[in-house]
Amino acid sequence: MSSRFPIADRLLQRLQQRRDQHRYRQRSLVEGAQGPQLRVDGRLLHNFCSNDYLGLAGCPALAQALASSAGSLGSGASHLVCGHSEAHHELEATLATLTGRPRALLFSTGFMANMGVIQALVGRGDTVVQDKLNHASLLDGALLSRANLKRYRHNDVAHAEQLLQGASGARLLVTDGVFSMDGDLAPMMELAQLAQAQQAWLMVDDAHGFGCLGPQGRGSVAALNLGQEDVPVYMATLGKAVGSFGAFVAGSETLIESLIQFARPYIYTTAMPPALAAATREALECVVQADAERASLQRLISLFRTECERESLPLMPSHTAIQPVPVGADADALALSDFLRERGFWVTAIRPPTVAEGTARLRITLTAAHDEATVRALVTALAEGMHAQGLAGGGVR
């Protein structure tokens, strides 16, 4: 039945198409604090799908820090009006020190940071060269900037070089540090060399590396001892390993001043609540001191991979906390996720358009708050589910 409004008709059609394709997304209701176990839609489940890699999101001391630093609920306005508080400023100073850069700038979310940075740095006539598997916000930022967008095959530095060589205007080379749906690392050394040779700026989105990798969790760029010269634009989020919310960009005085002047998602939005900024600074203190948690996370990653190999389950070449299990068809990924949920494990099925056609997968994420017995139990349930569905030994490697 069609309505008087073409938009409404089109939306109904699109929603139905999503259902028919097994790609309809649904939210589950979580009760209580984040942690390795969650009460979801009334049932207690082992949580293997959060980005809370160090187990800080539900930390009672940090929740207490948030409550006790709340001078006022809101920041009142954007940073450039009257919303830039001492708490924001101190957090930026801490982030600059941690990343070894002259300055850092806070954004309300990582999505906004990526949109803002690319749009502020390049425009019509310039070129953005990106990895095909970069996060959606990096892609959208490039589209918003109106620069020419070129995408190279995943982690293929030679292809990136070809695209840069023929590129017009100012050139920005952009990569995720740790790829969010695959868990593998960018070939950062080679990309940094390429950027230098081609007089391009390299931007790294380290949403999944900051807090987990490198000395004191300073991220994937610090892990390789690369500095400001190699990676002039370093971006990371605060809602993953840091356990809080928001994001930042770190770099030179010129970069940060340019973002303040020209990054529209920075300029035209309300600053994050100051209490959140204050509590995030305490969370960063926990991140710096979390060597034991990082080591335990690494042990769980190895255990997970060894157990999967023992069960002959397909794995992807990731050695980070993101351990995707390739499945292939959307319906199979959904059925496997449902199977695990029945057995008490919450793992989301990732389907197109988030990943390429035919590469649906379970995105298993490990955190320092998990324990060995639960990881082993997860692999046992996974093997059972994959065998029951005829998936073990298949999939994309």
- Residues serving a catalytic function are 180, 208, 240
Q: CB nearest ligand PLP: which residue?
A: 110
**Residue 324 vs 385, nearer CB to ligand PLP:** 324
SS3 for 346? strand
The reply to whether 247 sits near ligand PLP by the rule CB under 6 A is yes
Only one of the segments 11-19, 104-112, 146-154, 362-370 lies at the binding site for ligand PLP (rule: CB under 6 A); that segment is 104-112
Min CB(174)–ligand PLP separation in Å: 11
Which of residues 58, 123, 239, 394 is near ligand PLP by CB under 6 A?
A: 239
CB 265, CB 249: distance < 8 Å: no
Percentage helix, strand, coil, to 5, in the chain? 45, 15, 40
Can you state the angle between helices 330-342 and 372-388, rounded to 10 degrees? 130
Residue 383 CA to residue 380 CA, distance in Å, equals 5
SS3 for 132? coil
Min CB(79)–ligand PLP separation in Å: 17
Min CB(28)–ligand PLP separation in Å: 18
The one-letter amino acid at 53: Y
DSSP state, 345?
E
The sign of the CA dihedral 219, 221, 227, 232 is negative
The helix (H) or strand (E) run that includes residue 151 is strand 148-152
* Partner residues linked to 149 by β-bridges: 128
Only one of the segments 68-76, 108-116, 209-217, 267-275 lies at the binding site for ligand PLP (rule: CB under 6 A); that segment is 108-116
**Residue 127 vs 365, nearer CB to ligand PLP:** 365
Interface with ligand PLP (CB under 6 A), residue total 13
How far does Cα 30 stand from its chain's mean position?
A: 20
Residue 6 CA to residue 79 CA, distance in Å, equals 40
**Residue 111 vs 152, nearer CB to ligand PLP:** 111
Min CB(9)–ligand PLP separation in Å: 32
**Residue 167 vs 347, nearer CB to ligand PLP:** 347
Tokens of 130: 């990106």
CB 210, CB 217: distance < 8 Å: yes
Which of residues 205, 293, 307, 332 is near ligand PLP by CB under 6 A?
A: 205
Min CB(275)–ligand PLP separation in Å: 18
112-151 residues in contact with ligand PLP (CB under 6 A) are 114, 135, 137
Question: What does each C-alpha distance from 397 to 37, 102, 359 come to in angstroms?
Answer: 29, 42, 10
**Residue 34 vs 137, nearer CB to ligand PLP:** 137
Only one of the segments 20-28, 41-49, 109-117, 379-387 lies at the binding site for ligand PLP (rule: CB under 6 A); that segment is 109-117
Which of residues 83, 110, 265, 274 is near ligand PLP by CB under 6 A?
A: 110
Min CB(349)–ligand PLP separation in Å: 17
Q: Where are the beta strands (DSSP E) in 200-301?
A: 201-205, 233-237, 247-251
Min CB(130)–ligand PLP separation in Å: 12
Closest CA relative to residue 311, chosen from 371, 389, 387, 375: 387
Site residues (CB under 6 A) for ligand PLP?
109-111, 114, 135, 137, 176, 180, 205, 207, 237, 239, 247
